[in-house]
Amino acid sequence: MYKKIYNFFQSEIKVNGKEKTLSKIDLKKIFNINNKKTINQLYNFSKKLKFFELTKKQINQEFNKVKDLTSQINDKSSFKRLPIWNKGWDDNLQKILNFSKKIDIKSSLTKKTIPNYYLRKKQRVFKLKNNKFIYPKTKNFELKFHRLILHFINIKFLDKIDCLYEFGAGSCQNLIFFLNLKKKLRVFGSDWSASTIKILKLIKKNYQDRVISFQQINMFKKFSLKVHENSCLFTFCSMEQLGKNFKNFINSSLKSNFKIYVHVEPINELSRKDRFGKLSVNYLKRRNYLFGFLKFLKNLENKKIIKILYKQQVFSNSFFDCWSIIVWKKL
Ligand SMILES: C[S@@+](CC[C@H](N)C(=O)[O-])C[C@H]1O[C@@H](n2cnc3c(N)ncnc32)[C@H](O)[C@@H]1O
């Protein structure tokens, strides 16, 4: 099954239209923002993202293929997948180690910590918020969009944050991105994978005190952590892996003193109501990905335990609405 999806991602679509980039109006809609300064800043970062728009016929063809493939998926996320993640991050670790013999690790980390699943030639259709279906021209389009999201989070939510705690940090690409972007930021990293912890040890060697510490934490289980003042809890597609078993993680993190909680995860409640949205919900169920998280947070909000500050579905591929941003704080 995995091979079928992989081949599908590699298959090309013939496009004739004009090459485009994101307009300021696109960005305003994607992130649901009005602040001109923020829109201009994001516009500058987004210029590299070039794409073609698909015709109705091509969108229909894409829908039919994806529907057929989704119905065959039987590969579920679960606690049994730890060896697979260990193997993935071990590959990244080896790449860093091989590279660092020749080049200063600090300058090489960013490239070497990009997960393989971003580096495959994944030139596939993406949906934008404004109902546009696009086919990337730019190489590693998804990865570059990932960076655009991190820039948005930095501009909008990290201004008064001193420390960022990532759970499910994987190859640590986000931590390194933020360490390089915000020169005074300090970070904490965790994952259930031992290979991630080895990568974090290397990062600490280079960034020294800016890495507060790191810890192997299984997000299925309860944890307890003393956090620094003005800290942000951050997850990027790691809660995704928890399915419906996210309560231990959120309840434990509520007990820690985070100033703000920022998640980029697939959120079924924010999926669109059209045929692709339904496909997305079906995909989340088949993969046993995060489900019911926003409903859970809204319940906490009704009980006046938390306040949701921002929620927006920002990016989708043709299989599912993979990246929504949710930001909340404790009351
Ligand atoms: C899709 S990767 C995302 C990695 C990283 N956040 C990023 O954006 O590059 C999912 C990560 O979640 C981690 N993960 C999955 N289940 C976990 C669990 N129960 N506890 C802690 N980490 C987990 C995996 O090891 C992996 O590093």
* pLDDT band (50, 70, 90) for residue 183: very high
Which of 108-122, 137-151, 239-253 has the weakest average pLDDT?
Answer: 108-122
Please report the pLDDT score of residue 8 as a whole number: 81
Span of 50-64, 94-108, 142-156, 304-318 with lowest mean pLDDT: 94-108
Q: pLDDT band at 102, cuts 50/70/90?
A: low
Closest CA to 159 of 81, 260, 255: 260
Is the pLDDT score of 231 beyond 70?
yes
Taking only the tens place, the pLDDT of each residue in 271-326 is: 988 899 999 999 999 999 999 999 999 999 999 999 999 999 999 988 899 999 99
Report domain extents, the chain: 2-330
Distance in angstroms between the alpha carbons of the first and the last residue of the chain = 45
CA 305 – ligand 1 centroid, Å: 27
Q: Does the CB atom of residue 62 touch ligand 1 within 6 A?
A: no
Q: What is the pLDDT of residues 293-305, one digit of tens each?
A: 999 999 999 999 9
**CA 200, CA 190: separation in Å to the nearest integer?**
8
Q: Is the CB of 171 under 6 A from ligand 1?
A: yes
3-state helix, strand, coil in the chain (%, to 5): 50, 20, 35
Which helix (H) or strand (E) segment is 172 a member of?
Answer: none
Residue 182 CA to ligand 1 centre (angstroms): 23
- Ligand 1 nearest-atom number relative to CA 196: 27
pLDDT greater than 90 at residue 213? yes
Atom of ligand 1 nearest to the CA of 171: 9
For residue 289, give Cα distances in angstroms to 77, 281, 285: 7, 10, 6
Mean of the per-residue pLDDT values for the chain? 91
**113 contact partners, CB below 8 Å, separation of at least 6:** 92, 96, 171, 172, 173, 176, 199
* Ligand 1 center–CA 89 separation, angstroms: 10
Among 43-57, 128-142, 263-277, where is mean pLDDT lowest?
Answer: 128-142
Which atom of ligand 1 is closest in space to residue 82's alpha carbon?
Answer: 25
pLDDT over 70 at 329, yes or no = yes
Q: What confidence tier does 86 reach under pLDDT thresholds 50, 70, 90?
A: confident
The CA 277 to ligand 1 mean position distance, Å, reads: 24
pLDDT band at 43 (very low <50, low <70, confident <90, very high): very high
Examine the pLDDT at 92 and tell me if it is beyond 70: yes
Question: 2-330: which CATH number, 3.40.50.720, 2.130.10.30, 3.40.50.150, 1.10.10.10?
Answer: 3.40.50.150
Q: Does residue 9 have a pLDDT over 90?
A: no
Q: What is the pLDDT of residues 117-138, one digit of tens each?
A: 777 666 677 877 767 889 999 8
